[in-house]
Amino acid sequence: MRRLLLAAVVFGSASGAQAADMPEFLRGSFTDGLTTTRAVWQGYYVGGQADWGSIDSWVPAGINGDMQSTFLPPVGVAYNWRPLGRAHHLNGGLGAFAGYNSQWEDVVVGLEANYIHGGFRASSSSTGYTYNPDLSVASTTLSNATIRISDFGSLRVRAGYIWGCALPYGFLGAGLGSQTVERSVSAVPGPQLPGWITDTKTKLVYGYSAGFGVDIMVAGGVFTRLEYEYQRVTADIDSSINTVRLGVGYRF
């Protein structure tokens, strides 16, 4: 009996010593017979990312009216300019992120700077056709507008809850971007005098973003990221961008 008690004491002491030697971020509770782990997310981090998604831009119906007014049709010809509408397209981009996490037990809050250089480009076009039976003359018009959001940088507030080696989180952000609007019009037969056929303008626009994702600690300070973001760019032409992002980062 004494031998059994002595063996139990030795085994318990060895188990306690092994638990004490484990790294802090891998220690758990042994009181219920299960080991729970909690990754350490406290500190600064940086990373790179790629995204893929859709852009929707609400193009004003008469955005090309100023250019169309310079087209004086030949005698007997009437130009039928048709309105433009919503522009939609699928695009992708590359970018980077950097931030700081503050951790309280299982809760993590932080501030992150996020940047995407994208090829988000949506076009809206319309074609008009008229025919004069008296003169047997027909005309065809084409109107087009392309909206490009090439760069967008935002500052985010994040909050998450640690689940093992994963950090599910949500975020809200606001930022600035670059929007380029390219316009063009044409007609057949051509106008009596040369008209204003193309125009390009680039401006700084602002917007906001919201979304959710999960960071997963892989090894050391290396983690991977899967994220969804909704981004609204507010300008003369409003645009909405929905993207899914993949990233890799390092926590210092």
* CATH at residue 177: 2.40.160.20
User: Residue 224 domain-assigned?
Assistant: yes
Mean pLDDT within 104-119: 94
For the cut 90, the answer to whether the pLDDT of residue 14 exceeds it is no
pLDDT of residue 37: 63
Is 48 inside a domain boundary?
yes
Phi, psi dihedral angles at 18 (to 5 degrees): -65, -40
Q: How many domains does the chain have?
A: 1
Summarize the confidence of residues 128-137 as an average pLDDT.
80
Question: Of 138 and 232, which is predicted with more confidence?
Answer: 232
Residue 34 falls inside a structural domain: no
Q: What is the pLDDT of residue 13?
A: 43
Say if residue 217's pLDDT is above 80: yes
Considering the domain boundaries, does residue 148 fall inside one? yes
Cα 178 to Cα 192: distance, rounded to the nearest angstrom = 37
CB within 8 Å of 182: residues ≥ 6 apart: 145, 146, 148, 198, 199, 200
Mean pLDDT, residues 41-54: 97
Give backbone dihedrals phi and psi of 84, rounded to 5 degrees, phi first.
-95, 170
Of 159, 156, 162, 157, the residue nearest 216 (C-alpha): 162
83, part of any domain: yes
Residue 111 near residue 99 (C-beta atoms within 8 A): yes
pLDDT for 135: 66
Residue 102's Cβ-side half-sphere holds a number of Cα atoms within 13 Å equal to 5
Residue 34 has pLDDT above 80, yes or no: no
Is the residue at 13 inside a domain?
no
For residue 19, pLDDT beyond 50:
no
155 or 130, greater pLDDT: 155
Average confidence (pLDDT) over 130-157:
90
Distance of alpha carbon 46 from alpha carbon 64, whole angstroms: 43
Give 44's pLDDT tier (boundaries 50, 70, 90).
very high
Tens-place pLDDT, residues 193-210: 999 999 999 999 999 999
Would 28 be classed as within a structural domain?
Answer: no
Candidates 126, 50, 117; CA nearest to 87 is: 126
The answer to whether residue 8 is domain-embedded is: no
Residue-range definition of the domain harbouring residue 116: 40-251
Q: Tell whether the model's pLDDT for residue 137 goes beyond 70.
A: yes
Residue 1 has pLDDT above 70, yes or no: no
